A and B are shown apart, each in its own frame.
Chain A
């Protein structure tokens, strides 16, 4: 065992970049997947709606940790070995696409029926209707819960440490194993997550209040 030095602290703080990068990749992947899931959930074809609803339930009904384990081991079944980074990015993206899909489905459905009918009666087909009429109204409603989910996602990246990806939490564990100063180290890490997540939470809450006032 050795003493906790400034090099250790810097090592932990530098690991934040992996937490942020993983969050960003998972959020982008989840946004693309989530858009598809949301469109599938609001599709006019019953089969598509049922399959996408099942996808969402599957991810809402199982722990994120299990999803990460399976993202790590399932590619192996097909002979592809993935490193922890790829598995974490894949697992978190799929996870995010289910949750964002459900959030955005809600936002799409809140757009009043008359808007859909008006767009259809103007002769707009599916894509122009979605992009020009529905999306601009749905996005406004979707922003606060989307940012709220981003906070969940950033916190969720800490579980990537369990499948061996060295991000903030794993870096802290490594340093703790060498120096054994658990309280100082994990309190510091909690503070770092707090500094990242708190402004996002506050922003999400403020936007929500604004929408509530506007809706009155």
Chain B
């Protein structure tokens, strides 16, 4: 192998890389939070809304799940201005991420709601539990326990998806890496470092999610 590695230029740009990493983290966290709200609202609409609303939600889910995220970003960032809706690249990225994760989140939350059987609630009532207790211990906690693994892996996918937002020059890690690459021409080195940083983000989220599960969602041992 005759290639000479040169990471000096890439490491010299560490303030930019760090800023990109932080932007990716913030973009992911915001999209997760707003995406959760959309998912819960959508799941409620799908389980207890009127028929027309359910059909709209179903179509939205299928449309998003069966088209690439990159095209969704392009439609929002390049396509919607034609309809008079113009966004900055960062706003378009956030909107696209929320629209995308919502389609997956709704199905996950709905599965959680449907995993609670009616008999459980009745059992709670007959034990003399108050409505708030029933909601907390019988509906909310088991529902979250049931969907926690799929919800958190969806969040990791969302975080990884933020890299696609570089295609519309949102200011996140991949776009920063692209800038550094076009300046230094150390392509391999830049993308290798960026990949390691993404892996670091994944490990960070894996650890946080596992910590939350241990602290709040431990199943009672028999």
On whether the beta carbons of B160 and A77 are closer than 8 Å, the reply is no
On whether the beta carbons of B74 and A182 are closer than 8 Å, the reply is yes
Bound form: Cα–Cα A105–B198 in Å: 25
Bound form: Cα–Cα A151–B66 in Å: 7
Asked whether any CB of chain A lies closer than 8 Å to the CB of B3, the reply is yes
Chain A residues whose C-beta falls within 8 Å of the C-beta of B68 in the assembled complex: 155-156, 158-159, 169, 193
The listed residue (A61, A158, A194) touching B70 by CB distance below 8 A is A158
Asked whether any CB of chain A lies closer than 8 Å to the CB of B67, the reply is yes
Chain A 159-177, CB-CB to B under 8 Å as 1, else 0, gives: 1011000000100110010
Chain A residues whose C-beta falls within 8 Å of the C-beta of B192 in the assembled complex: 70
Number of A-B contacts defined by CB within 8 Å? 121
On whether the beta carbons of B187 and A64 are closer than 8 Å, the reply is no
Asked whether any CB of chain A lies closer than 8 Å to the CB of B166, the reply is yes
- A residues 5-62 with Cβ under 8 Å of B? 58, 60-62
Bound form: Cα–Cα A161–B71 in Å: 11
Chain B 56-76, CB-CB to A under 8 Å as 1, else 0, gives: 000000110111111110110
Q: 6 shortest A-B CB distances, which residue pairs? A: A61-B202, A182-B78, A63-B163, A158-B68, A183-B79, A197-B66
| Chain B: minimal CB distance from A36 (Å) | 23
Chain A residues whose C-beta falls within 8 Å of the C-beta of B198 in the assembled complex: 61-63, 66
Known: A65-B163, A66-B191. 18 other contacts (CB 8 A): A60-B202, A62-B195, A63-B164, A64-B160, A66-B163, A69-B195, A70-B192, A74-B188, A76-B188, A77-B188, A78-B3, A151-B65, A151-B66, A182-B75, A182-B81, A186-B79, A187-B75, A193-B67
Chain A residues whose C-beta falls within 8 Å of the C-beta of B74 in the assembled complex: 172-173, 182, 186
The residues of A with any CB-CB pair to B shorter than 8 Å are: 58, 60-67, 69-70, 73-74, 76-79, 151, 155-156, 158-159, 161-162, 169, 172-173, 176, 182-183, 186-187, 189-190, 193-194, 197-198, 201
Bound form: Cα–Cα A88–B68 in Å: 16
Bound form: Cα–Cα A194–B63 in Å: 7
On whether the beta carbons of A183 and B82 are closer than 8 Å, the reply is yes
On whether the beta carbons of B160 and A62 are closer than 8 Å, the reply is yes
| Chain A: minimal CB distance from B84 (Å) | 11
Bound form: Cα–Cα A66–B166 in Å: 11
Asked whether any CB of chain A lies closer than 8 Å to the CB of B167, the reply is yes
Chain A residue with minimal CB distance to B198?
Answer: A62
- B residues 120-168 with Cβ under 8 Å of A? 156, 160-164, 166-167
| Chain B: minimal CB distance from A80 (Å) | 11
Bound form: Cα–Cα A63–B166 in Å: 12
| Chain A: minimal CB distance from B8 (Å) | 17
Chain B residues whose C-beta falls within 8 Å of the C-beta of A65 in the assembled complex: 163-164, 166, 174
Chain B residues whose C-beta falls within 8 Å of the C-beta of A60 in the assembled complex: 156, 202
On whether the beta carbons of B66 and A77 are closer than 8 Å, the reply is no
Chain B 191-207, CB-CB to A under 8 Å as 1, else 0, gives: 11011001100110010
On whether the beta carbons of B202 and A62 are closer than 8 Å, the reply is yes
Bound form: Cα–Cα A183–B83 in Å: 9
Chain B residue with minimal CB distance to A200?
Answer: B66
Asked whether any CB of chain A lies closer than 8 Å to the CB of B117, the reply is no
Most buried by B among A67, A79, A194, A201: A194
- Contact of A66 with B174 at beta-carbon distance under 8 Å, contacts A61-B202, A162-B167, A197-B67 already known: yes
On whether the beta carbons of B160 and A193 are closer than 8 Å, the reply is no
The listed residue (B3, B69, B163) touching A76 by CB distance below 8 A is B3
Chain A residues whose C-beta falls within 8 Å of the C-beta of B187 in the assembled complex: 69, 73, 76
Bound form: Cα–Cα A78–B3 in Å: 7
On whether the beta carbons of B78 and A194 are closer than 8 Å, the reply is no
The listed residue (B65, B195, B203) touching A70 by CB distance below 8 A is B195
Asked whether any CB of chain A lies closer than 8 Å to the CB of B221, the reply is no
